[in-house]
Chains A and B, each alone.
Chain A
Amino acid sequence: MTAPLLSIEDLHVSFATRHGVVEAIRGISLSLAAGETLGIVGESGSGKSVTSLAVMRLLDRAGRITKGRITFRGEDITRASRRILQPLRGAAMSMIFQNPRAALNPIRPVGLQIADVLRAHEPLSAQEARARALALLEAVRIREPRARLDAYPHELSGGMCQRVMIAMAIACEPALLIADEPTTGLDVTTQKTVMDLLAETTARRGMAMILITHDLGLAAQYCGRIAVMERGKVVEEAAPRRLFGAPQHPYTQRLVAASPTRDSTVASLVGETETEIPAAPPLPAPAATRGGRLLAVRNLVKRFGGTTAVNDVSFHLESGESLGLVGESGSGKSTLSRLICRLIDQSSGSILFDGAEIGALPARNFHQSLHRRAIQLVFQDHGESLNPRFSAFDSIADPLQRLAGFGRTPALRARVEECADRVGLPRELLHRFPHQLSGGQKARVGIARAIACRPRLLVLDEPTAALDVSVQAVILALLDRLRREEGLSFLFVSHDLNVIRMMCERTIVLQTGQVVEEGPSGRIFAAPQAAYTRELLEAIPHFEPDVAEAVGV
């Protein structure tokens, strides 16, 4: 057995923050052989990204390796100077990042950026470097590579930017490639092509890869070995089959249980965690009238300039029903949800809500309409969608004061507290500001705000996309319970098909502004009719099917 390509021994990393020194990595040991693919999974704050930055020695000023050793190709690089590291980076070990568009220099053509990397490590002329850059763009299968050489990052799609990033990272044939959440934020079909490209490239060139991800399915599909990290420690390390088939550590077990799979249900995701939400008494509900048509959309069209974002879409939603809206970026699902919330005006078509033509009301004046209370929104980014100067109480009270005519009275306080109880937000957190709340707590505030006025339709725009899986599981369970208890209807927008399948009775698949398939969720996921739906479903990374069986979910 030869020496490993990379070995990390008892690594400790701490960060100097305003509140003193924080230990981000607390003694991890990992090793990687040449050509091997290692997955590091964990939730936010587990230290997986810090590990990779420590290996590249790219920690920012505040971060320090306090203990331990990093050895690369037999050489101790724990304290190596820039003079030693710079020739290694890019040539022997390189890295690709989440959010590829931001990772590229916005005002430099991508061809030049690839050439920059090449010329940093090899004595090449500008022409030679350009020729090599072209070859690399072909290698990462970018369409019209010659034209793309002179393109700027903002002229390329997210997937193309990540391909360019990969081209830069593999330009000098490094022995190790670290991919830090390389496909987060990309569409599921793009994710598949990018990951396939990465796997194929590393295999062909004999490169080792460390894949850092929060997506267990992705890690299972592309890694030979997976390390699970929790709060700065590796809690378990094994081959995916073993790890997901028979997780040993309680944290791994929880993580596996919380990850949506082909046949999980909302209840199965949460397990015993659900008990953390105090079961609020059912409301004296506004007559949870099941049945009856709540929303009917007919021939809805929305054009922006020359492009048609929503093209002749018709569907309906029964009272108390949950309808899923899936599609990739550019499919028009966000535009559609905004049209239905009356945040923007349609170009043509009608929107009937509870029998009233709300499509005729200009979006500008809709806040005066009585229907505003009845249609409420839950946003994707729970941090951004809360006013940073409003406490949780103010945020929840805001719609009550504006739409339901509450004054600053004890009745308002009672109502806000009741809403907080219903979403499982501890009352003592109500005076806190958004930055003092965790992601899950902010999500609860956002949901409490949305249900405060007792709406009949809740439009949820990727409500769990920014959350860790364990938090997502709890929030999904909460939403599902709220819907049943309050007789709400959901229009649930998501790119995560598994989430849609669990949360929605019916599903609409959108592609470039048009409905390509519509039907009961179970049928669509079991036997998709449209080719595009099949493509979407096939692109979801799953744990191995037999493993899933072994887990018994």
Chain B
Amino acid sequence: MLRKTFETELQQVKDNVLFLGSLVEQAILDSVEALKKRDMDASRRIMEADREINARRFAIENQVMVLIATQQPMAHDLRLLASILEIAGELERMGDYAKGIAKINILMGEQPLLKPLIDLPRMAQKDADMLHRALTAFLDEDVETARAIPQEDDEVDALYNQIYRELITFILQDPTTIERANWLLWAAHNLERVADRVTNICERTIFIATGEMAELDGAANGEENA
């Protein structure tokens, strides 16, 4: 077979994207879990682990650059490699959102949570689930699934709006809760952005498979909220 070496290297890059994705998925779930339990040590570990996410993103970029320089990819191969650069960037930013939530937990210090967390873990779970399926669709170049996932962004947006309204009522009742409400709102906003970036990954998957570069609805809705 003519392309054995190249195929092997392409597969390695894809595997590295999946591995990075799994780290990010876990970081999102862990960051909210740590906030929920007010576990400072766990949050510190998440902030530390973000370095690995960043390093892996650079490693993927480097691998892609080397393949572009040495293999002169064309057509589908070119779309795949160019998209991987984007996807690795999206994943790295999602990792930053998880790190941001870990930081909120540390900033809150000894202050108790304004309220028990119910919807934030739901958002995190939904994000992680969407991300996981988006990366599976990327691997399989499953256009149908890639088109369907962004529609679920509405659920994440609905949870965000619900959290927003709830926190506003806390603030209206007692303005001294402003700081604590704001921290939770910040965490919710981060989780809302994760779903938008999942949509971007789905757009890239469709581009890889079809060459069609189109904006999917989920992302547009998300931008309005931001």
Are A and B bound to each other?
no
Where the two chains meet, the residues of A that have a C-beta atom closer than 8 Å to any C-beta of B are none
Where the two chains meet, the residues of B that have a C-beta atom closer than 8 Å to any C-beta of A are none
